[in-house]
Amino acid sequence: MSTMRSTFRMSRGLPIAAIATLSFGAFAADPFTKERVERAKAQPSFWQSYKFMNPVTKTIEPKQMYCERLDERAICGGIYQ
């Protein structure tokens, strides 16, 4: 999959957000990414809510992802709640 990711950190080193660029022609390996690609094809912007393992706390937590379509890509930013 053609994906670029960046993580932004607070002063104490905790991740607060991740940004991903998804190519519409890419193969989606997980159901969350597949849903994001499909929704980006249909909508210019959207929010996605799901639960995912936080890499810092190692627990499954609610997460919000905001995405906007840009040509044949979706630019997304997510944060754990």
* 7-51 per-position pLDDT tens digit: 444 434 444 455 566 666 655 667 888 888 889 889 999 999 999
pLDDT given at position 2 = 42
State the pTM of this model: 0.67
Distance CA 33, CA 65 (A): 11
Domain boundaries, the chain: 3-80
3-80 CATH pick, 3.50.30.60, 3.40.50.300, 3.30.70.980, 3.30.450.20: 3.30.450.20
pLDDT given at position 51 = 92
Distance CA 13, CA 69 (A): 30
